[in-house]
């Protein structure tokens, strides 16, 4: 789950690698549902760049995701083949491979029955990870389709009482957005993200950001069945950008936490020497 996915879509689509034209490093931290023990916390650090006359995109991503007794840490490497379709439009076909360490600490669960044998052993293991995606972007429009978890993987162990298992299901994402200049100083950037996974309703993120003098941006999002989001983005200089998002759940869950905070920091190598126009909107 990311509220600021539109600032670095490498997190959800490997075909995004190299699309900004210069080396880009992005760090993101999300602390969800403040006040609830075991609530999700996600940290990612990524880098991507275009090589071979911008025909190839490469990306690297480290991530750590925590949810209750579960923790997943992994490394992904992305490869994108970029096809120049028009003067400003590029189609990218992306693949991603990696490894992840998944842990579920069942021994930390508080049970009604003391020393419940079903919870006396933890699950831990190394799993492969693969992803695929297609991404098209021009100066003012983008659309991408991806599955960040191409494999449906499962870990199981057998203890004296039961079989403990954990399964990672397939996810599917569709992301699109465009840029609409309103005046010399104002630019509107609507976008949408559609998320689907087995066992859950399809979720939509509807987002709108407005840029003021290409220096500061304010935005809002509506996530169906979940939350409303406010966000701000600051272009500190041609290379460095900072973003912040605050989510507030409007479901019953919102009564038991004080919201979600998400921080993003991005640095573009080479933007100061004219290799790419600044700022890039996606």
Enumerate domains of the chain plus CATH numbers.
5-273 (2.40.160.60)
The single residue listed with the structure tokens 């460095």 is 240
Which of 66, 157, 168, 166 has its CA nearest to residue 120? 157
Burial, 85: exposed, middle or buried (Cβ in 10 Å; 0-12, 13-18, 19+)? exposed
Burial, 198: exposed, middle or buried (Cβ in 10 Å; 0-12, 13-18, 19+)? exposed
* pLDDT tens, N- to C-terminus, the chain (282 residues): 889 988 878 989 999 999 988 899 999 999 999 989 899 999 999 999 999 988 999 999 999 999 999 999 999 999 999 999 988 899 999 999 999 999 988 888 888 888 787 777 788 889 898 999 999 999 899 999 999 877 766 666 655 445 555 556 778 999 999 999 999 999 999 999 999 988 888 999 999 999 999 899 999 999 998 899 999 999 998 899 999 999 999 877 778 888 999 999 999 987 555 444 445 677
Q: Supply the pLDDT for residue 252.
A: 76
Structure tokens at 194: 């559609």
Burial, 79: exposed, middle or buried (Cβ in 10 Å; 0-12, 13-18, 19+)? middle
Q: Cα–Cα distance between 134 and 213 in angstroms, integer?
A: 31
Return the SS3 of 118. Answer: helix
Cβ pair 66, 40 in contact under 8 A: yes
Q: Cα–Cα distance between 37 and 26 in angstroms, integer?
A: 28
Cβ pair 173, 10 in contact under 8 A: no
Return the SS3 of 239. Answer: coil
Q: Cα–Cα distance between 238 and 247 in angstroms, integer?
A: 28
Return the SS3 of 120. Answer: coil
Across the chain, the runs of DSSP E, i.e. the strands, are 24-31, 41-51, 56-67, 70-84, 90-104, 123-137, 141-147, 153-158, 163-168, 171-178, 180-181, 186-197, 203-212, 216-223, 227-235, 240-249, 260-268
Q: Supply the pLDDT for residue 167.
A: 58
Burial 138-170 (b: 16+ CB within 10 A, else e): eebebebbbbbbbeebebebeeeeeebebebee
Q: Cα–Cα distance between 223 and 204 in angstroms, integer?
A: 6
Q: Cα–Cα distance between 95 and 275 in angstroms, integer?
A: 26
Q: What are phi and psi of 117, to 5 degrees?
A: -65, -20
């Amino acid at each position: 789950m990311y509220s600021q996915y539109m600032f670095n879509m490498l997190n959800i689509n490997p075909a995004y690698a190299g699309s900004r034209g210069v080396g880009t490093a992005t760090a993101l931290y999300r602390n969800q549902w403040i006040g609830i023990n075991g609530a999700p916390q996600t940290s990612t650090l990524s880098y991507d760049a275009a090589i071979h006359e911008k025909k190839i995109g490469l990306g690297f991503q480290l991530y750590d995701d925590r949810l209750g007794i579960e923790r997943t840490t992994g490394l992904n490497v992305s490869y994108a083949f970029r096809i120049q379709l028009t003067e400003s439009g590029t189609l990218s076909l992306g693949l991603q491979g990696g490894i992840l360490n998944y842990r579920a600490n069942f021994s930390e669960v508080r049970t009604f029955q003391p020393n419940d044998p079903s919870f006396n052993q933890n699950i831990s293991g190394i799993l492969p990870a693969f992803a695929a995606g297609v991404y098209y972007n021009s100066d003012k429009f983008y659309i991408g389709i991806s599955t960040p978890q191409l494999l449906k993987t499962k870990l199981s162990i057998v203890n004296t009482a039961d079989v403990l298992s954990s399964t990672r299901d397939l996810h599917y994402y569709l992301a699109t957005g465009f840029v609409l200049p309103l005046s010399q100083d104002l630019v509107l950037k609507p976008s949408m993200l559609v998320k689907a996974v087995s066992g859950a309703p399809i979720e939509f993120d509807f987002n709108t950001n407005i840029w003021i003098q290409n220096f500061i941006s304010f935005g809002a999002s509506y996530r169906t069945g979940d939350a409303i989001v406010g966000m701000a983005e600051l272009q500190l200089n041609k290379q460095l950008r900072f973003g912040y998002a605050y989510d507030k759940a409007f479901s019953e869950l919102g009564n038991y936490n004080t919201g979600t905070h998400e921080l993003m920091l991005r640095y573009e190598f080479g933007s100061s020497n004219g290799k790419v126009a600044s700022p890039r909107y996606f």
